Amino acid sequence: MDVNRMIARLKEHRGSSSMGMIAFHLGIVRATSRKGNDVGAVEVSYDYDSIANIIKDIKSMRGIIEVLVETNEGRLMVGDEILAVAVAGDIREHVFPALERAVDRIKVEASQKKEFLNP
Protein backbone atom coordinates (compact mmCIF):
# COMPACT_ATOMS: atom_id res chain seq x y z
CA MET A 1 0.00 0.00 0.00
CA ASP A 2 1.37 3.34 -1.02
CA VAL A 3 -0.40 6.31 0.56
CA ASN A 4 1.58 8.77 -1.57
CA ARG A 5 0.46 6.99 -4.75
CA MET A 6 -3.14 7.13 -3.54
CA ILE A 7 -2.81 10.88 -2.89
CA ALA A 8 -1.38 11.37 -6.39
CA ARG A 9 -4.34 9.48 -7.90
CA LEU A 10 -6.79 11.66 -5.98
CA LYS A 11 -5.05 14.86 -7.07
CA GLU A 12 -5.31 13.70 -10.70
CA HIS A 13 -9.08 13.14 -10.37
CA ARG A 14 -11.21 15.32 -12.66
CA GLY A 15 -12.97 16.74 -9.60
CA SER A 16 -9.79 17.57 -7.71
CA SER A 17 -10.36 21.33 -7.92
CA SER A 18 -13.36 20.85 -5.58
CA MET A 19 -11.36 18.84 -3.02
CA GLY A 20 -10.68 20.54 0.26
CA MET A 21 -9.68 17.44 2.17
CA ILE A 22 -8.33 13.92 1.85
CA ALA A 23 -8.67 11.65 4.88
CA PHE A 24 -7.05 8.24 5.33
CA HIS A 25 -7.46 5.07 7.30
CA LEU A 26 -4.42 2.80 7.32
CA GLY A 27 -5.10 -0.35 9.29
CA ILE A 28 -2.18 -2.40 10.54
CA VAL A 29 -1.93 -5.68 12.44
CA ARG A 30 -1.46 -4.93 16.11
CA ALA A 31 0.11 -7.24 18.70
CA THR A 32 -2.91 -7.27 20.99
CA SER A 33 -6.49 -8.29 20.23
CA ARG A 34 -9.48 -6.22 21.35
CA LYS A 35 -9.80 -8.69 24.24
CA GLY A 36 -6.17 -8.18 25.29
CA ASN A 37 -4.73 -11.42 23.91
CA ASP A 38 -1.28 -11.55 22.27
CA VAL A 39 -1.67 -11.77 18.50
CA GLY A 40 1.00 -13.42 16.35
CA ALA A 41 -0.72 -13.03 12.98
CA VAL A 42 -4.07 -12.55 11.28
CA GLU A 43 -5.54 -14.04 8.15
CA VAL A 44 -7.68 -11.66 6.10
CA SER A 45 -9.83 -12.01 2.98
CA TYR A 46 -12.17 -9.59 1.22
CA ASP A 47 -15.33 -9.67 -0.90
CA TYR A 48 -14.44 -7.25 -3.70
CA ASP A 49 -18.00 -6.99 -5.04
CA SER A 50 -19.10 -5.78 -1.61
CA ILE A 51 -16.22 -3.30 -1.49
CA ALA A 52 -17.26 -1.94 -4.91
CA ASN A 53 -20.83 -1.44 -3.65
CA ILE A 54 -19.59 0.28 -0.50
CA ILE A 55 -17.40 2.62 -2.56
CA LYS A 56 -20.39 3.45 -4.78
CA ASP A 57 -22.56 4.22 -1.73
CA ILE A 58 -19.89 6.38 -0.05
CA LYS A 59 -19.26 8.32 -3.26
CA SER A 60 -22.97 9.20 -3.34
CA MET A 61 -22.70 10.96 0.03
CA ARG A 62 -22.84 14.75 0.06
CA GLY A 63 -19.52 16.40 -0.73
CA ILE A 64 -17.62 13.20 -1.52
CA ILE A 65 -15.58 13.28 -4.72
CA GLU A 66 -13.63 10.01 -4.67
CA VAL A 67 -13.01 6.91 -2.54
CA LEU A 68 -10.00 4.61 -2.94
CA VAL A 69 -9.53 1.27 -1.20
CA GLU A 70 -6.46 -0.96 -1.16
CA THR A 71 -6.36 -4.31 0.63
CA ASN A 72 -3.78 -6.80 1.77
CA GLU A 73 -4.98 -10.40 1.93
CA GLY A 74 -3.63 -13.60 3.36
CA ARG A 75 -1.65 -14.30 6.50
CA LEU A 76 -0.31 -11.02 7.87
CA MET A 77 2.12 -10.45 10.71
CA VAL A 78 2.15 -7.80 13.43
CA GLY A 79 2.99 -4.46 11.82
CA ASP A 80 1.76 -5.44 8.35
CA GLU A 81 -0.72 -3.16 6.62
CA ILE A 82 -4.22 -4.59 6.26
CA LEU A 83 -6.47 -1.95 4.71
CA ALA A 84 -6.06 1.53 3.27
CA VAL A 85 -9.08 3.74 2.64
CA ALA A 86 -8.83 7.27 1.25
CA VAL A 87 -11.82 9.59 1.01
CA ALA A 88 -11.59 12.91 -0.82
CA GLY A 89 -14.24 15.55 -0.56
CA ASP A 90 -15.09 19.16 -0.11
CA ILE A 91 -15.05 19.75 3.67
CA ARG A 92 -14.18 17.78 6.80
CA GLU A 93 -17.79 17.66 8.00
CA HIS A 94 -18.51 15.50 4.95
CA VAL A 95 -15.21 13.62 4.62
CA PHE A 96 -14.68 12.33 8.18
CA PRO A 97 -18.13 10.71 8.50
CA ALA A 98 -17.76 9.17 5.01
CA LEU A 99 -14.36 7.71 5.92
CA GLU A 100 -15.66 6.26 9.15
CA ARG A 101 -18.70 4.76 7.42
CA ALA A 102 -16.54 3.27 4.64
CA VAL A 103 -14.12 1.60 7.06
CA ASP A 104 -16.90 0.31 9.31
CA ARG A 105 -18.83 -1.15 6.39
CA ILE A 106 -15.76 -2.81 4.85
CA LYS A 107 -14.92 -4.43 8.18
CA VAL A 108 -18.49 -5.69 8.72
CA GLU A 109 -19.74 -6.40 5.19
CA ALA A 110 -16.69 -7.16 3.07
CA SER A 111 -13.94 -8.75 5.15
CA GLN A 112 -13.21 -11.92 7.04
CA LYS A 113 -10.46 -11.93 9.66
CA LYS A 114 -9.07 -14.71 11.81
CA GLU A 115 -6.56 -13.97 14.57
CA PHE A 116 -3.77 -16.36 15.43
CA LEU A 117 -2.92 -15.91 19.10
CA ASN A 118 0.47 -16.48 20.66
CA PRO A 119 0.52 -19.23 23.30
**CA separation, residue 112 to residues 78, 96, 109 (Å):** 17, 24, 9
Domain with 94, as residue range(s), is: 3-117
- pLDDT tens for 81-97 read 999 999 999 999 999 99
* Structural domain total, the chain: 1
pLDDT bracket for residue 1 (50, 70, 90): confident
Which tens digits make up the pLDDT trace of 15-29?
999 999 999 999 999
Write down the pLDDT at residue 107: 97
Q: What is the CATH number of the domain that holds 43?
A: 3.90.1170.40
> What's residue 117's pLDDT?
92
pTM: 0.93
Question: Of 92, 76, 96, 64, whose CA–CA distance to 27 is shortest?
Answer: 76
For residues 34 and 84, the model is more confident at 84
- Strand 81-89 relative to strand 21-28: parallel, antiparallel, unpaired? antiparallel
pLDDT in tens, 38-71: 999 999 999 999 999 999 999 999 999 999 999 9
Give the closest residue to 54 by CA, choosing from 2, 116, 111, 112: 111
